[in-house]
Chain A
Amino acid sequence: SQQGEEDPQALSIQEGENATMNCSYKTSINNLQWYRQNSGRGLVHLILIRSNEREKHSGRLRVTLDTSKKSSSLLITASRAADTASYFCATPDSWGKLQFGAGTQVVVTP
C-alpha cells in the first residue's frame, strides 16, 4: 500500500532554531497532509497541501510539495519546547484512505 516515508527519523534542535523534515511517497496523490503527535496522545492535523499547490503556510509552519520528485517538506520556524513531538506525513490511497509514514521524532531543548 502507498505510504509516505519521513526523513530524518529523529531530530534534536535548540529553541529558536528551525526544524526541517521530509516526506517521500510512491504514487501520484491529490493531497498530502502533515500531523503532529505528542507522546502518548492522538494525532493532530497540521496542514493539507493539494497536488496543484507548491507551498503552504500556517503560522510557523511551511510545507512544500514537489510532485515531480514525489516529496514534501515541513519546516517549523523558530521552534519552541512545545514543538517537541512526532510528525507524520500522510497521503490518501486510491480509495481515499490515508496511509501514514513512520514519523520524525523532534526534540526541542530549551
Chain B
Amino acid sequence: DGGITQSPKYLFRKEGQNVTLSCEQNLNHDAMYWYRQDPGQGLRLIYYSQIVNDFQKGDIAEGYSVSREKKESFPLTVTSAQKNPTAFYLCASSIQRGAGGELFFGEGSRLTVL
C-alpha cells in the first residue's frame, strides 16, 4: 500500500540533545513537508521540499534542519537550538510542487523533551 511512514511514533529526548524524525513516502510525490502541531492549535509549516536536493524554510524553521537526498525521504532534525521542541510532528507529501493540491499525511511523531 502506498503512503507515508513516520518513525518513531513516540520519542523522548533530554534537553540539549538533537533528534531526527524519519519520513518516508512511496507515493512518488515530488513535494514533501514538515508541520508542527501544538495542543489545540493548527499546523505550522517548518520546512518543505519541492524537489530532491532542494528545500525551503517554512514559518517556524528556527531550531530545525532537514535534508532531501532521495525523493522518498525527508528527515527532520530537531536541534538543541529549538527552545520548545515538545510537539506533534507531521510529515506530508503532495503530487505536484507548488500546486496547492491535496496533502497526504503520515501518522505523526510525538516528541517529548524531558
Chain A residues with CB under 8 Å of chain B are: 1, 3, 30-31, 33, 35, 40-45, 48, 88, 90, 92, 95-103
Contacts and interface: CB of A to CB of B under 8 A. Distances in A.
A97 B58 contact: yes
A92 B101 CA distance: 8
29 contacts: A1-B59, A3-B42, A31-B100, A33-B103, A40-B88, A40-B108, A40-B110, A41-B107, A42-B4, A42-B6, A43-B92, A43-B105, A45-B102, A45-B103, A88-B42, A90-B103, A92-B100, A95-B98, A96-B97, A96-B99, A97-B33, A97-B48, A97-B58, A98-B100, A100-B42, A100-B43, A102-B41, A102-B42, A103-B42
Interface residues of B, number: 28
A58 B62 CA distance: 39
A97 B61 CA distance: 15
A41 B45 contact: no
Interface of B: 4, 6, 33, 35, 40-43, 45, 48, 58-59, 88, 90, 92, 97-108, 110
B102 A48 contact: yes
Nearest to B91: A42
A31 B110 CA distance: 30
A45 B43 CA distance: 14
Contacts of A40: 88, 108, 110
B84 to A, nearest CB: 18
B110 to A, nearest CB: 8
Contact of A97 (B6, B40, B45, B110): B45
B75 to A, nearest CB: 17
Contacts of A3: 42
A31 to B, nearest CB: 6
A45 to B, nearest CB: 5
Given A42-B108, A96-B98, 12 more contacts: A40-B108, A41-B108, A43-B90, A43-B92, A43-B103, A45-B103, A90-B103, A95-B98, A97-B45, A100-B42, A100-B43, A102-B42
